[in-house]
Amino acid sequence: MRFHSSFYCLFIIVLIFSIDARLIPLQREINEPLIIDVLSTNNNLNIPVISTNNRALQRQKESGTPSSTGPVANTTVCYPIVGCFDNNEPFNNAALEVPQSPEFINTGFLLFTQEAPTNPEIFSYDANDESIMKSSINPSRWLRIIVHGFQNNRESVWIAKLKTELLKLKNDEKSDVIVVDWGGGAKFPFYANAVANTRLVGKLIGLFLKKLHKLKGISYDKIHCIGHSLGAHTCGFTSNTVDNQLARISGLDPAGPFFSGKKIVVRLDKDDAKFVDVIHSNTEIALGLGLGITDESGDIDFYANGGQSQPGCPSIGALLGGVLGGQSEAAYEQASCSHGRAHGYFIESINSECPYTAFPCHDYNSFMDGKCLVCPISGCAQMGFYSIYSLGRGKMYLATKSNSPFCGYHYFVELVLDRDMAKTRGEIYVAIYSDYELLANVSVTERGNDDIKAGDIFRHVFSYHTDLGKVDYAVIYFQKKILAFGWGGPAANEIVVSRLRLKSLEDTVVLSGRCDASTKVAAYTSEPLLLNRFDCQD
């Protein structure tokens, strides 16, 4: 990204998790972030407050005595049950914070079963063997563990939705669910502490699983840890505690800040479990903005809609304008909306018929330009719960719809312009109809510049909620762009389309307009084009 080189020494990580209070650490060089808290009392006024004493405040809260010093290098803390943690490289990634005490974090495990879907059995992090022996957990079922991220706890709405969908699973997928609540160690605005705490919480979960293994005969082969944001890395540490024997980890937009580009021992990676699937929904956009990690972290990494931001969430333009212009409301909306889509997609995938097909591709632009339209022999992959049964591995791309249900089927539109057409400027839309009903209206020029020249080929992938098998015609609309002072030379008042093709990515269906006829579309007008089930020779 172009911004990066010019801001080499000063990059900004924006952590925006709360409507009424926001935290923006300006990370200078490698260490010591300068923290700017942006506190707002309403939607209009944001007052940036520069403070470097969040950690001092935290210590004060914990111990009751104010401390004027921040964390220092070469610190080790030791606690009963979990042992010792230091902040030496590579574990100096949390601004030198070390994990807080198990008592302070007060992790709880809530066991839900199909027999008791709403009244959990609750275990403390230091639950004794006797209480574990008495639990109704069933070793013949899968054990799905849900781990939340920063500023969440057992009350977070998405957790209840995910739990409900998991408890509906049947037969070989039948599951018990444990919700991990570590909200005491994930509180706003102490992000660096929460990052450090993922190690300790992961270990606590791992030790709890060891007991379930020993006392209740639960097999690691049937344990699946599902973590959102910081929770994804926590799942990694959980599996580390049992020698990476967990069957599966699903990382839902694993947290980026303090983890991006770091060694794999401090973050989720594919060796942490037998199978690791990752959904990226809010990766770094520019200037370090974005709550999720960009790094490939699993056996399969799904970059939904490219992974940076999600359709239906406020635009990237609003985000950048908002942050740089001091209006962080838009930034908050965008970041939390896109970051949260990862669990939205996963939840929807569990009991939906829609396949969430994703395609291996070098990058998102290539995917959208139609360069990766067929599943290679190495296979495609299904995003979400069923990804474990997919053949494909590596980076996968897919488009989703902008609202729920998010899963759609992919279609590829290709529009070829006549070789003798005069050049012009503007935007070309293709609307798809079935039985006089408008199904979709996509801009094929969306990602290009405004120039439209003879022989141009526009290609665009879009997502639609059902099979477009019955499509019968398209309507092409040309919106000419008017430039002041005639910049860019003369622009024709029409475009001439020599071919239009619509292809299903999930199916073999190809629809084309007449192969030997071209269609003139005058500026600001629409022209219909019949589509038939055949493909034209090139």
Q: Is 339 a catalytic residue?
A: yes
Of 163 and 480, the one with the shorter C-beta distance to ligand NAG is: 480
> C-alpha distances in angstroms, 242 versus 245, 505, 536?
6, 41, 57
Buried b (16+ CB within 10 A) or exposed e, 184-216: bbbbebbbbbbbbbbbbbbbbbbbbbebbbeeb
501 is an annotated ligand-binding site residue: no
Give the C-alpha separation, 119 to 203, whole Å: 26
First to last CA, the chain: 36
Catalytic one of 339, 343, 410, 460: 339
Q: Report residue 430 CA to chain centroid gap.
A: 29
Q: Let me know if 224 is a catalytic residue.
A: no
To the question of whether residue 267 is assigned a binding role by annotation, the answer is yes
In the complex with ligand NAG, which residue's Cβ is closer, 215 or 431? 431
Q: How far is the CB of 475 from ligand NAG (least distance, A)?
A: 4
CA atoms within 13 A on the CB side of 379: 12
Burial of 242 by CB count in 10 Å (0-12 exposed, 13-18 middle, 19+ buried)?
Answer: middle
- For residue 365, give the DSSP letter: H
The length of the chain is 538
Q: Return the number of other C-beta atoms located less than 10 Å from residue 178's C-beta.
A: 24
DSSP state of 221: G
Given 253, 299, 369, 456, the catalytic residue: 253
Catalytic residue (choose from 40, 156, 175, 229): 229
Radius of gyration of the chain (CA): 26
Burial of 150 (0-12, 13-18, 19+ CB in 10 A): buried
Site residues for ligand NAG, 423-462, by CB under 6 A, read 429, 431, 441
Q: Which residue is nearest to ligand NAG (CB)?
A: 431
d(CA 426, CA 423): 10
- For residue 81, the one-letter residue type is I
- Residue 229 falls in the annotated catalytic set: yes
Q: Which is nearer to ligand NAG, 327 or 441 (CB)?
A: 441
Q: Which two tokens stand for residue 29?
A: 């060089």
Residue 418 labelled as part of a binding site? no
Q: Which is nearer to ligand NAG, 266 or 300 (CB)?
A: 266
Q: Based on CB atoms, which residue is closest to ligand NAG, 47 or 73? A: 73
Does 523 engage in binding with ligand NAG (CB under 6 A)?
A: no
Q: Rule CB under 6 A: which of 50-79 touch ligand NAG?
A: 73-74
Instruction: Copy the structure tokens of residue 41.
Output: 């009392």
Question: What is the 3-state secondary structure of 491-528?
Answer: CCCEEEEEEEEEEECCCCCEEECCCCCCEEEECCCEEE
Amino acid found at 134: K
Residue 168 exposure: Cα atoms within 13 Å on the Cβ side: 13
- Give the DSSP H or E segment for 177: strand 175-181
DSSP sequence for 294-351: -S--SSEEEEETTSS--TTSPPHHHHHHHHHTT-HHHHHHHHHHHHHHHHHHHHHHHS
Q: Which two tokens stand for residue 513?
A: 């307009």
* Contact string 472-501 vs ligand NAG (x = CB under 6 A): ---x-x------------------------
Interface with ligand NAG by CB under 6 A: which residues? 73-74, 429, 431, 441, 475, 477, 526
Q: Which residues are catalytic?
A: 229, 253, 339
Residues at the binding site for Ca(2+) are 267, 269, 272
